[in-house]
Amino acid sequence: MHGPRKLPELVESIYDAGLDPSLWDNVVAGVRDFVGGQACGLFSKDSISKFGVTHYYCGADPHYIQLYSDTHSKFDPLTVLPPHGQIASIPDLVDFDEYRRGRFYQEWMQPQGCSDAANVVLDKSNPSCPVMMTVLSGRRMVDPAMKRRLSLIVPHASRALLINRAIDSKLTLATALADVLDNLASGIFLLDASCRLVHANSAGRALLAADDVVRSVAGQLVTSSAEANHTLRAAFAARNEIVPLAARDHAIPLLSPAGERYVAHILPLSCVMRNGNERGVDAVGALLLRKVSFGGQSYGELIARTFDLTPAELRVLLSIVEVGGVPETAVALGIAETTAKTHLHRVFAKTGVSRQADLVRLAASFSNPLVN
């Protein structure tokens, strides 16, 4: 066995566990040796059900750890918990003679060769289920020296648990946001001030893999349109310009080499700009890119209902969006160009737009953002 650790070394290991929870097993072993106990554990206990679960421990038989969770947690002396950060031995909590006649001592403590324990609440962020540390003292009683040594550990262990909780909260939020982004049909690209790619969602990675409307060149996002590339670089290079571009709904129509139409939108990441962080790897904005697709007749019907379009006007609108200009639409629908123009002017009047590119952007806003 190794000797007890010195306090600075133990404190360092505690904060290491704050960053990497898997290191708590090493910490509880160090606490046991430093305090001078037989076993040590980090556990939580529900204040209502009295159900307890041990998260990390050393010096105890796994059979008794399981037994504590299954039955004996509701019999232990911690029915009323000590105040946060205050170390309490069993005689501080209950009548010791009565405790020794009870099931917890007779069936759980005594068979392990233990009589007393030092208990302390480390984290009450969840008041109904606080996290505690217990050091089983063995056959001797917990003395003031043990309590004093444990008191040197408590504030550091409490802070490390708070760090664990903060990191876990951030990771949970990041994972949830990543899952949301990956369930969107739109390609989402987070870009830095030089249009270098910081992150892409699942749809964005698929677009990059297709190497069609967008691609990554030396880490920079490049579109199939030279004009769009100029717009993006100008906007992202001057971070303050991203907000005005987004505010006026600066949609960018894109046409892939295969003739498929896409619409891109610039979205500022204002929280990064407020932080004033100038590192090149930080995302300062996002590019949202989606294919112009209606995914079924229901989308056409929704557009028609929204703008009170006749069936003929809707067919022209959809053709303009999916096929091309007036000549192509006339051929595709088998009508005269003058007829196509007449319907198109009526569509312009009803929708409030004046250019075919604006119709593409308008139509894209009706597409389903979720992956089918």
Class of domain 297-364 as given by CATH: mainly alpha
For 83-95, what is each residue's pLDDT tens digit?
Answer: 889 999 999 999 9
Q: H-type helices in 199-309, by residue range?
A: 202-210, 226-237, 242-247, 270-275, 297-307
Name every residue whose Cβ is closer than 8 Å to that of residue 206 and which is 6 or more positions away in sequence: 187
pLDDT on residue 244: 47
Mean pLDDT value across the chain: 84
Whole-number Å distance between alpha carbons of 11 and 215: 49
Q: Which of 101, 100, 35, 39 is closest to 64 using CA atoms? A: 39
What does the pLDDT average to over 178-189?
83
Which is higher by pLDDT, 47 or 138? 138
For domain 185-291, the CATH architecture is 2-Layer Sandwich (3.30)
Report the range of poorest mean pLDDT among 42-46, 119-123, 281-285, 314-318: 281-285
pLDDT at 268 over 50: yes
CATH for the stretch 7-174: 3.30.450.80
The dihedral built from the CA positions of residue 136, 141, 146 and 151, taken in this order, carries a sign that is positive
Max mean pLDDT among 91-105, 160-174, 267-281 falls in: 91-105
Share of the chain above pLDDT 90, in %: 45
- pLDDT tens track for 111-143: 999 999 999 999 988 888 889 999 999 889 999
Given this model, what pLDDT does residue 36 score? Answer: 93
What residues does each domain of the chain span? 7-174, 185-291, 297-364
* Structure confidence at residue 51 as a pLDDT band (50, 70, 90): confident
Question: Please, which pLDDT band fits residue 279 given cuts at 50, 70 and 90?
Answer: very low
Amino acid (1-letter code) at residue 199: H
Given a cut of 50, whether residue 278 has pLDDT beyond it is no
Q: Do domains 7-174 and 297-364 have the same CATH topology?
A: no
CA 260/CA 341 separation, integer angstroms: 23
pLDDT at 296 over 80: no
Please give the radius of gyration of the chain, using alpha carbons only, rounded to the nearest integer. 33
Q: Report d(CA 48, CA 94) in Å as an integer.
A: 19
Q: What is the pLDDT of residue 270?
A: 58
pLDDT at position 272 is 40
- pLDDT over 70, % of the chain: 88
Give the mean pLDDT of 33-55: 88
Range from 75-84, 157-166, 255-264 that averages highest in pLDDT: 157-166
